[in-house]
């Protein structure tokens, strides 16, 4: 029995050892797999946390960007409302004039044909001028007028006016920039937003957000700055609008009178009201456009911009409203050119480059002669009509007491 029990104990021990040998790798592998699962779950939690933080940051970043873009889109849409209004009035007037007055009325057909023959060229050249005024690319200062980032920071952080004035003079002298006008404090005109020296007659437009050459004003009816690039087209737009509205009012006057006399029964009641409002709209627009047109003709004869008529440009000897006035004939030729037929068509005939301007030497104490003498001494003679740039020594021309 003892032998038998001892043999059973030995077999039991061997079986337990075999089970331990078999189960040991299984237990170790299960522990490793559990550890791997814990590590993978930890990594997934970290990755989820990272992605959630990234997405939340992107949402917070995109929210102000989308808000800013929506504001810009709304602002652009609001700016286009006057243009849409003008085009809608023109489209309605075309229907009232051509369809209601000339086609649906069957009396006096030869006269209607003549009306339409004159009407369409006037409408075409009026819309052409309007298109050129709106879509002519605006011209800003040339690249040499822009200061670098370091120079811009130095100018913006200048402690005194003398330090800023000296930095601006040094930059203009180094770049040999042709600047004749000054700020009211005697310093070179500088735009802190664009970081550029303002050329003569250039100003910063807050609506367009940049400096514009020969800035006149920002016109909401054209959704564009009236400036050097499109000033001729703007005057032609006003002039041809006046001619077009006057022609429409004159040719529709007959039907306006017949409306009140209630004689012409060939016109439908709806057509009568179209012709009535057509006459009133043509008269109203002709009166409003005529005031702007003749005012800008006066400014062109004086060689002034709208801004310069209210705030005279400042030269080395003080403000001068007629500083750029070189004679009525030459003033008009500077904008419209010398040929009359080319002047009344909305094509480019403006002289110069928007940066260099002749000045009234009688008012400015021989500044133009001094300018030409310095060019001859430097061997850089150039004529205005040739369109070449005129180089000026700013330190000698505008040496003011600091």
Question: Among all residues, which ones are annotated catalytic?
Answer: 219
Separation of alpha carbons 135 and 297, rounded Å: 22
Separation of alpha carbons 283 and 110, rounded Å: 25
Centre a 10 Å sphere on the Cβ of residue 239 and count the other Cβ atoms it contains: 20
Tokens for 21? Answer: 């040998």
Tokens for 332? Answer: 């008009």
Exposed/middle/buried for residue 221 (C-beta within 10 Å: 0-12, 13-18, 19+): middle
Residues 6+ apart with CB under 8 A from 283: 245, 249
**Element (DSSP H or E) covering residue 314:** strand 314-315
Separation of alpha carbons 152 and 150, rounded Å: 5
Separation of alpha carbons 209 and 215, rounded Å: 13
Residues 6+ apart with CB under 8 A from 119: 97, 98, 247, 248, 251
Separation of alpha carbons 64 and 68, rounded Å: 6
Residues in the chain: 402
Alpha carbon 20 to chain centroid, angstroms: 86
What is the 8-class DSSP label of residue 356? -
Q: What percentage of the chain's residues is helix, strand, coil (to nearest 5)? A: 65, 5, 30
Angle between helices 161-175 and 149-156 (to 10 degrees): 150
């Amino acid at each position: 029995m003892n032998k038998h029990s001892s043999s059973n104990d030995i077999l039991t021990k061997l079986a337990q050892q075999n089970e331990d040998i078999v189960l040991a790798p299984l237990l170790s592998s299960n522990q490793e797999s559990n550890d791997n699962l814990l590590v993978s779950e930890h990594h997934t939690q970290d990755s989820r946390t990272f992605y959630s933080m990234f997405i939340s940051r992107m949402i917070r970043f995109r929210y102000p960007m989308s808000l800013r873009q929506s504001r810009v889109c709304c602002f652009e849409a609001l700016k286009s409302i006057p243009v849409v209004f003008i085009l809608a009035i023109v489209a309605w007037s075309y229907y009232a004039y051509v369809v209601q007055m000339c086609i649906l009325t069957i009396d006096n057909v030869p006269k209607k044909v003549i009306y339409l023959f004159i009407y369409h060229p006037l409408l075409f050249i009026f819309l052409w001028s309007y298109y050129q005024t709106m879509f002519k690319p605006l011209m800003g200062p040339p690249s040499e007028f822009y200061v670098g980032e370091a120079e811009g920071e130095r100018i913006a952080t200048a402690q005194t006016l003398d330090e800023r004035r000296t930095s601006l003079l040094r930059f203009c002298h180094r770049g040999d920039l042709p600047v004749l006008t000054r700020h009211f404090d005697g310093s070179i005109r500088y735009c802190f937003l664009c970081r550029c020296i303002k050329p003569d007659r250039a100003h910063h437009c807050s609506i367009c957000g940049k400096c514009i050459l020969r800035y006149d004003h920002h016109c909401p009816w054209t959704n564009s700055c009236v400036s050097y690039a499109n000033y001729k087209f703007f005057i032609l737009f006003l002039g041809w609008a006046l001619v077009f509205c006057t022609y429409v009012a004159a040719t529709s006057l007959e039907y306006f009178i017949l409306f009140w006399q209630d004689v012409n029964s060939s016109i439908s009641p709806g057509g009568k009201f179209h012709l009535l409002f057509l006459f009133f709209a043509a008269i109203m627009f002709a009166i409003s456009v005529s005031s702007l047109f003749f005012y800008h003709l006066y400014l062109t004869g004086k060689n002034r911009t709208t801004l310069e008529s209210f705030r005279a440009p400042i030269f080395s000897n003080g403000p001068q409203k007629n500083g750029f006035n070189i004679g009525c004939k030459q003033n008009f030729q500077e904008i419209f050119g010398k040929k009359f037929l080319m002047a009344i068509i909305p094509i480019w005939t403006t002289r110069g480059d928007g940066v260099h301007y002749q000045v009234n030497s009688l008012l400015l104490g021989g500044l133009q002669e001094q300018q030409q003498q310095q060019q001859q001494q430097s061997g850089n003679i150039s004529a205005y009509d040739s369109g070449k740039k005129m180089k000026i020594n700013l330190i000698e021309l505008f040496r003011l007491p600091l």
